[in-house]
Amino acid sequence: MNDYNSATETTPTPLTLGDKTFRSRLLVGTGKYSDAETMNNALEASGCEVVTVAIRRVDLKSGDNLLSQLDRNRYFLLPNTAGCFNAEDAIRVCHLSRELGLGDWVKLEVLGDKKTLLPDPVGTLEACRELVSEGFKVLVYSSDDPVLALRLQDAGATSVMPAGSPIGSGQGILNTNNLSIILEQLDVPVIIDAGVGTASDVTIAMELGAEGVLLNTGIAGAKDPVAMAHGMRHALDAGWFAARAGRIAKRRYAQASSPTEGVLGE
Amino acid sequence: MSSENIHEGGIGSNSMELIEIQLNGEVHQIEKTASVLDLVNSMPLESAAVAVERNRAIVPKSQHGDTLLQPGDHIEIVTIVGGG
């Protein structure tokens, strides 16, 4: 993790995924915002460059949606396959994404069921293999299973993105043990995706050694999304620096910070 | 639509034959001679990019004008929306 010079660097280094470099390690979703102004202000406050988007049927009654007011020149749009429960549907969405002009980068999600929204490991792996063979750059939503994470890396994923906790649950980072194993084992960048409820969750993910964090509801669902976006941005920086600083060991008992010699009265 | 059609009552006049297709999961009527491009242009969209599937196969944008709709076609028109 000695990838920066603490004497000169005051912000985290850029995020490298595949052949691309992004200025921010925070990837932010564009769903669930009440209005376009809040969405745009929150995205700006977060400092993000990569934003996730979804692909849906055109609403035949209302037409344009919030996203038409996103400044597309400022952001890298990463289409997801949210709502797909098998590999075939996810691959279909990726093909439509290409036709929409969104390029070859996709956030692959193949979900197991509607209640947990946990990934279907078999369908996810199957879709990942196929999409990679078709030239897609696959950032793949995964469970926190270290074995699956390795398999997805072997399948050619550009990034493996294990969930901190279920999508939209706000439970934060539940299984730090498994995530640590994934981070230790994988060579491709690992991004913690899903479950972030508040800023400290982002810090924990980065302290574990994640390359980045992807979140949506934690910002969009906060009472003040713009304030939370600021918080998330700083939390990410805090965790990134802490991860490189080499934290102190935990001890059972206290260890005085001030000199123990020369104390008055001895 | 020609002015003659409007004069005679527009939709429902004999001079404009309609066919039925499935559009985004709903029954939709459109002129017999309509192309995919005509259909896309009839959507209430201003600037959003769309992609079109006809019977599960993508119709590339360059072919929208040349692809005529057939009765019973299953058409999906999708766009980019907010998501996580």
The dihedral region occupied by A195, where left means phi > 0, alpha psi between -120 and 50, and beta the remainder, is left
Give the number of beta-carbon pairs within 8 Å between A and B: 110
Instruction: Verify whether residue A223 is a known catalytic residue.
Output: no
Cα-Cα-Cα-Cα dihedral sign, residues A147, A148, A154, A157: negative
Q: Please indicate whether, in this complex, the C-beta atoms of B24 and A52 are within 8 angstroms of each other.
A: no
Q: Determine what percent of chain A falls in helix, strand and coil, rounding each to the nearest 5.
A: 35, 20, 45
* DSSP assignment string, chain B: --HHHHHHTSTTSTTS-EEEEEETTEEEEEETT-BHHHHHHTSS-SS--EEEEETTEEE-GGGTTT-B--TT-EEEEEEEEE--
Interval A53-98: pLDDT, tens: 999 999 888 766 788 888 888 999 999 999 999 999 999 999 999 9
Which ipTM was obtained for this model?
0.87
Calculate how close chain A gets to B82, using CA atoms only, in Å. 4
* Segment B59-72, tens digit of pLDDT: 999 999 999 999 99
Q: Which of B44, B49, B76 sits opposite A100 (nearest CB)?
A: B49
pTM of the model: 0.89
The answer to whether the CB of A181 falls within 8 A of the CB of A153 is no
A61 touches chain B (CB under 8 A): yes
Best residue in A99, A102, A165, A213 for a mutation probing chain B (most B CBs within 10 Å): A99
> Contacts of residue A82 in chain B, CB cutoff 8 Å?
83-84
Distance from CA of B66 to the nearest CA of A (A): 17
Nearest C-alpha neighbor of A119 from the set A55, A193, A221 = A193
Report the candidate in A101, A82, A254, A225 with the shortest Cα–Cα distance to residue A161: A82
Q: What is the CATH number of domain B3-79?
A: 3.10.20.30
Look at the block and give the residue holding tokens 């192309």.
Answer: B35
| Confidence at residue A266, expressed as pLDDT on a 0 to 100 scale | 67
CB atoms A54 and B53 under 8 Å: no
Bigger pLDDT: B47 vs A226: A226
pLDDT at A5: 77
Per CATH, is A20-245 categorized as 3.20.20.70?
yes
| DSSP state, residue A216 | S
pLDDT at A64: 67
- Averaged over B7-34, what is the pLDDT? 78
Q: A48-76 as b/e, with b when 16 or more CB fall inside 10 Å?
A: bbbbbbbbbebebeeebbbbbebeeeebb
Catalytic position from the list A107, A137, A223, A250: A107
State the nearest Cα–Cα gap between B68 and chain A, in angstroms: 19
Residues 6+ apart with CB under 8 A from A82: A54, A109, A111, B83, B84
Contact by Cβ (8 Å): B58, A99? yes
Q: DSSP alpha helices (H): ranges in A5-106?
A: 36-46, 87-99
Higher pLDDT, A3 or A5: A5
Tell whether A76 is within 8 A of chain B (Cβ): no
List pLDDT tens digits, range A154-179.
999 999 999 999 998 999 999 999 99
The type of residue at B42 is S
Of A116, A86, A100, residue with least CA distance to A108: A86
Residue of B nearest to A57 (CA): B78
pLDDT bucket at A1, cuts 50 / 70 / 90: low
Q: pLDDT of A246-255, one tens digit each?
A: 999 999 999 9
pLDDT at B10: 43
Contact B80 A102 (CB under 8 A): yes
Residue written as token pair 């299984």: A175
